[in-house]
Chains A and B, each alone.
Chain A
Amino acid sequence: MNKIYFLISLVCGIHIACAAPKLRWGADVESGAPFSYVSPEDQSVIGFEAEIVELLAKEMGMEVEHVQNSWDGLIEGLKRGDYDIIVNGVEITADRAEVVRFSRPYYYTAEALTVRKSTFDIAGLKDLKNRKVGTLDASLAQKILKEQPFPISVVGYDEEINIYSDLAIGRTDAALLDEPIALYYAKPNIDLKLVGGPIGYMEYGMVTRLQDEEFNARVSKALDKLIQDGSIQLILERWNLWNAMTAKAWGKNAKPRTPPVAYDEYIKKTWKKTTIKERLIKYASFLPMLLKGAAMTLELSIISMILAMILGLGTTLCRLYGHPVLKWLALVYVEIFRGTPLLIQLYLIFYGLPHVGLNLEPFVAAIIGLGLNYGACEAENYRAGILSIPKTQMDASQALGMNWYQSLRYIILPQAFRVVIPPVTNDFIALLKDSSLVSIISMVELTAVYGQLASNSFDYLGLGVVTASVYFLIGLPFVRLSRHFENQMMNSASKGSVSRSWLTGFLSRR
């Protein structure tokens, strides 16, 4: 027997030693074409950068692992250590180079100006005076617009697709963004057109932490090789991104030799008009992903609610019966967490705490954020519930010789429980919906899945209805359950039936 165990551990040990180290790379796959985005077929991450990263990993003897984060939180996430490299069309700028390290460039491009087909008075940057121009937040394009010597009304977005859809419907007058993005989001749109030539000049670099000098050098060396042997050029050609600037930088011919198969595939899949039947089939194919997101939403909500209820009960007891210091602490906790937005609390916990040394995983941060916030709500619910029980009940239980704890446990709390069921269930339904906020601290739950799917299939409305229905459906059982408990308790107490709900029985059990 022992020999077998030894052999097994030896094999496992060798396997672990031989398992390649992981190349964890961060990128925002929402609205991510052509860089990195979610394939509508098998939900894998595809795109020209995804392919470059695969090659890079193979060259460095590593395995890829993609970590999702929103575009404007990418650098923060890198600093936190959620991943080790960012590959997401990040322009090499002096500002950024102060806080992060760049690899050698792997692509060279410029900004493209897009307007509606019906616009004829905008041909270049100078025509944007006093016009509304959409662009991506924290991008070089935004910086360029803001630095113009004349006023421009710059509208910042966090999703590429929204920039162009808003332009098409007339919310803005123009859009300025990297050529690759314009090629994928504007050119195929019959309502839009590109005007003027390339504006400015930029290089994309891979981003690593300042202190990872050695790692960064290895990345650059691997990139050198991949550029030299033409593998990156091949990828760029397939995605229709091979351009004159890149060709010039690498001393190659600007004419592509491979057909842009990936680009054609993308146009075919995302830009064709679909019939209702095709759309419904597409939604059905999205269901597994949506349900996975829903499962995470449910898991988050239930665990957070349990935490909130425990915190709430503890806080209420401190507030009603505790030492003056405890009373004050409880009051402060409730006021702070009820008086500030949940969104800000989540940001503080996830992005702020690392600065004082507390680095939490997204799941843990989400539970704590939701739990603390709703704990304050629960505290108020339970306080109202307990205070609604007449003082004479406490008199009676004390007169029978029960101490404070026994009176609460057997007499006051069981009665208060019945009173608080409606507001507590209400809070749970609200928590279920508020859990959608944790998508901003990179938790992939139902709303995050919706964002990814909608932005990649350009279908916010239809998918939105589907997602909202999923939220509604997962909340439904809890509404029914609470109504059932309420009725049971009402029946047993006021209508005076002799049988009794198992729940009151459970609570009064010795």
Chain B
Amino acid sequence: MVICIQNLMKSFHHRPVLDGVSFDVIKGDLFAIIGPSGCGKSTLLRCVNGLESLDSGCAQVLGTELLSQDKIGHKEFQRRSLKVRQKVGMVFQSFNLFPHLTILENITVAPKVVNKISDSDAIKKAQELLLKVGLADKADHYPNQLSGGQQQRAAIARSLAMSPEILLYDEPTSALDPALVNEVLRVMKQLDQEGMTQVVVTHEMRFARDVADKIIFMDQGQIVEMGASDEIFGNPKDERTKNFLRHFQ
């Protein structure tokens, strides 16, 4: 198990957003999280790599335990989060590329600064990754010169440059034109085949049904139903799940 979430609780201004969430992720899985807006999916993802602190419970990621700051203190939480983030990458809904750097520099900045990789090694790896995501000719362009789909693929390449063991995706295609969605999903499928562990918060039901190994359906901060993709899509047990999937079916 690479991720083990136990009884995670998180509130914003006394409003509970995560209300006792528990699940495990096995190495190599593509884990999809679906649910209506506001159910806490993004917050859950951000708790996994410590971008959000948790109020109680435990998020154990690749052997590092992220606990509430009351238990371990602010400094220790930051230290452990940093450790996690160096092995866990994240891809955001709005890409969040660095606008003042070229695509190539976007990809090489973290390996050079964090892992102290040499200039030439970092550039070589970046070029391989660009080739992999189909952006070899865009190395010297700036983010605002690329289409949405291209930017998201560049963001994935940027995360891959740190050689992560897990990739987290926060609605990676929600901000894209339908025409551009597929090019991103294609990359994710490819990574899945190569054995990358991926946790994806998504509204792309077809992708979740066809590619994901396990699905979680969340509503109002709790896991309503969890299981293999054909179970959830073929035979939903809970009323809320049925309701939600009705729009898709």
Contact = CB atoms under 8 A, between A and B. Distances in A.
Interface of A: 392-393, 395-403, 406, 410-411, 414-415, 418, 492-494, 496, 498, 500, 504, 508, 510
B114 A399 contact: no
Nearest to A496: B145
Contacts of B113: 402, 406, 410, 510
Contacts of A401: 82, 85-86, 110, 114, 162
Contacts of B144: 493-494, 496
Contact of B85 (A399, A493, A500): A399
Given A406-B113, A496-B142, A496-B145, A396 B98 contact: yes
8 contacts: A398-B51, A399-B49, A401-B85, A401-B162, A402-B110, A493-B144, A496-B144, A508-B105
B83 to A, nearest CB: 9
B109 A403 contact: no
B140 to A, nearest CB: 5
Interface in B77-112: 82, 85-86, 89-90, 92, 94, 96-102, 105, 109-110, 112
Contacts of B96: 392-393, 395-396
Contacts of A395: 51, 90, 92, 96
A415 B106 CA distance: 14
Nearest to B84: A401
B33 to A, nearest CB: 17
Interface of B: 49, 51, 82, 85-86, 89-90, 92, 94, 96-102, 105, 109-110, 112-114, 119, 140-142, 144-145, 158-159, 162
Given A400-B159, A496-B141, A504 B100 contact: yes
A400 B101 contact: no
A418 B99 CA distance: 12
Contacts of B51: 395, 398-399
Nearest to B96: A396
Contacts of B145: 496
B82 A403 contact: yes
A498 B141 contact: yes
A406 B109 CA distance: 10
A170 B89 CA distance: 80
A501 to B, nearest CB: 10
Given A399-B159, A400-B162, A411-B98, 11 more contacts: A392-B92, A392-B96, A393-B96, A396-B97, A396-B98, A398-B85, A399-B51, A399-B85, A402-B113, A504-B100, A510-B119
Contacts of A415: 98-100
A418 B114 contact: no
Q: Max chain B CB contacts within 10 Å: which of A402, A418, A494? A: A402
Contacts of A418: 100
A402 B158 CA distance: 13
Contacts of B90: 395-396, 399
A395 B81 CA distance: 12
A271 B116 CA distance: 75
A414 B113 CA distance: 15
